[in-house]
Structure formats: C-alpha cells, structure tokens
Amino acid sequence: MPLSKRLAAECLGTFWLVLGGCGSAVLAAAFPSVGIGLTGVSIAFGLTVLTMAYAIGHVSGCHLNPAVTVGLVVARRFPAGEMAYYIVAQVVGGIVGAGVLYLIASGKAGFDLAGGLASNGYADHSPGKYSLVAGLVTEVVMTFMFLVIILGATDKRAPAGFAPIAIGLGLTLIHLISIPVTNTSVNPARSTGPAIFVQGWALQQLWLFWVAPVIGAALAGFVYPWIAGDADKS
C-alpha cells in the first residue's frame, strides 16, 4: 500500500478517535437526564479504535497514536524510517478532529473553552485533582499495558480476526481506570488536538502526555518480545 494512502488512513482514523472519544465527553457525558457518563465515554473511545481497526487496519495498520507507532518500532513490527510520517499524520488528524468538535460544541449557547474540550491534565486540571506524579505513573503504566495488548493481539500466534476487539476493549478498560486521574491520554495525538484549541494550561501540561505515553510504549516494545519470544521460531 503506498505510504500516501496509509498516511491518509492514519489521519482519518485519528480524526475519528478524537471526534468520537472526546466528542462523547464534551457533548454527551453530562447531557441532562440521559448523559452517558464516565462509562459511556470509556466505551466510546474503545469503539473508535475497534471500528477503525476493522475499517483501515488492512490499509495502515490502524495505529492512530504516536505512542503505538513508537512501540511497534521498538518491537520491530514497523519500519523506523516511516515513524515520523505516521506521527505527523496522526497529529494532523487529531487536530482536525478537535477542530470539528469545537465547531459543533460552540454551536450551543454558553459554550466555554474553559471546560477544556476534553483536554488532558494533572493537578488542578485533573478531573480528580491527582498530582503530576500520579498522572505520570498512570500514563506510563496504562500505555505500557495498551501496547502489550496490541502486540499480543496482533502476534502471528494470536487468534486471527479478533485483535480489534481485544484492543478496543483494552482501551475501554484503560479509560474506566484513568479518566479520573488525567482524563486519559495514552495517545499524544489525542492530547494535542484539544490542547491546540484550549491553549493556556492545556498546552503547558501537554508535555506529560507526550513523554509518559512514549515511555510506556517503548518499554512495552522491549518487554513483550522478551516475554513472548520470536513468533517465527515458536
């Protein structure tokens, strides 16, 4: 598949992840009397990945996340020479997704970007007021486990055809655990999109949501192959 088409798929998929996941948080989480709440938002993020994995997994691999791309490179599942291109496409998709969400959300009277547009944060900007250290540990560990799930589910020895389900449910579980701590990133592109529009504190704290997920993903890229061994030799 030409790189240009794979990059377009990554951009589209990350657009859907941000619009679907962050959109559920901004538009539907607390909607009067029928809001979907934390559980609904968690499911929505999982569904964005599950649906895109089936839609574009055969085109680009459906990374939708710079940390995933880094982890796959470390695990030698993806060529390092294409990593930067994938990351740029994912960030662009995330920004466009956040832009469309902003256009929709701002159509409601009284809308205020001070609400954060589902941005990620720590300390005063953590939903549960969790500290920087708590946010760092959460994002590293959750991204580590997300990559372990991805690497395991897409291993040649895993049952064929079920990887999107495992990955989507894995992301749902991660959100159920960590939304109160950081609003859940585990994805620098997902964090960057809303932060671009919120500016201020969201951009100031954005560094954590690049550093921690990349560390967690890189660790998984080393650990999973060590645990599972070489699929070609098993």
The token duo for 141 is: 């560990």
Say what the pLDDT of residue 231 is: 63
pLDDT in the model for residue 234 = 47
pTM of the model as a whole: 0.95
Taking only the tens place, the pLDDT of each residue in 40-49 is 999 999 999 9
Note the pLDDT tens digit of each residue in 105-123: 999 988 989 888 999 999 9
Q: What local confidence, expressed as pLDDT, does residue 232 receive?
A: 55
Q: Which domains does the chain have, with CATH numbers?
A: 3-228 (1.20.1080.10)
Give the whole-angstrom CA distance, residue 134 versus residue 122: 8
Distances (CA, A) of 148 to 142, 196, 223: 10, 30, 8
Average pLDDT in the chain: 96
- Alpha-carbon distance of 175 to 114, in angstroms, equals 22
Query: In the predicted model, what is the mean pLDDT of residues 66-82?
Result: 98
Residue length of the chain: 234
Q: How confident is the model at residue 189 (pLDDT cuts 50, 70, 90)?
A: very high
Amino acid 180: pLDDT: 97
Cα gap 189→75, rounded to integer Å: 21
Mean pLDDT, residues 71-95 taken together: 98
Q: Give 31 or 179, the one with higher predicted confidence.
A: 179
If one counts every other C-beta atom within 10 angstroms of the C-beta of residue 89, the result is 27
* Amino acid symbol at 43: I
pLDDT band with cut points at 50, 70 and 90 for residue 196: very high
Residues 216 and 28: their CA atoms lie apart, in Å, by: 30
